[in-house]
Amino acid sequence: MNHKLIATAPSPGELAAGLAAEERHQCDPMDATIAQLACTCRTTAPKDTDYPEWAAWLAQQIAKSDATRRNR
C-alpha cells in the first residue's frame, strides 16, 4: 500500500479562528464559582501508626511480586 499524507498549513484566518476558539475554551465562566467551593480538610491524613499491619502486608506483597518475576 502506498499512502500519501497530504497536509496543508491553515490559512491566517483559520489559524486566528482556531486560536480564538481555544482562548474561549480556556475561559470557563464557572472557574471562580468552583474555586470558592474549595475548603480545607479538618482531619489529618492517616499515618503509618494508624495502620500498623500495613507495612508488613506491603512487604509481603512486594516479596510475592519479586518471586513471581524471578520464576517466570
> How high is the pLDDT of residue 72?
72
All structural domains of the chain with their residue ranges: 11-37
Among 45, 48, 44, CA closest to 59: 48
pLDDT per residue, tens digit, the chain (72 aa), is 566 767 788 889 999 999 998 888 777 778 888 778 877 667 777 787 888 898 899 999 999 999 988 887
- The backbone torsions φ and ψ at residue 40, rounded to the nearest 5 degrees and listed phi first, read -85, 145
**Global pTM?**
0.35
Percent helix, strand, coil in the chain, to 5, is 55, 0, 45
**Cα 38 from Cα 56, distance rounded (Å):** 36
